[in-house]
Amino acid sequence: MRTPIIAGNWKLNNTISEAVALTTELKGLVTDCTGVEIIVAPTFTALHAVSGVLKGSNIHLAAQDVYWEDSGAFTGEVSAPMLKDVGCDYVIIGHSERRQYFGETNESVNQKVKAALSHDLKPIICVGEQLEDREAGRTETVIEDHITGGIADLSDAQLLSSVVAYEPVWAIGTGKTATPAQAQEVHSLIRKLLTDAYSDEVASQTRIQYGGSVKPENAAELMAQPDVDGALVGGASLQAESFAEIVKSAL
Residues marked as catalytic: 95, 167
- Cβ atoms of 171 and 212 closer than 8 Å: yes
- Cβ atoms of 46 and 15 closer than 8 Å: yes
For the chain, state the CA radius of gyration.
17
Nearest to 182 by CA among 165, 166, 205: 166
Strand partners, 61: 40
- Cβ atoms of 129 and 168 closer than 8 Å: yes
Burial class of residue 45 (count of CB atoms within 10 Å of its CB; 0-12, 13-18, 19+) = exposed
Nearest to 114 by CA among 153, 71, 78: 153
Burial class of residue 84 (count of CB atoms within 10 Å of its CB; 0-12, 13-18, 19+) = middle
Which residues lie below 8 Å from residue 133, measured CB to CB, with a gap of 6+?
139, 141, 142
- Cβ atoms of 229 and 5 closer than 8 Å: yes
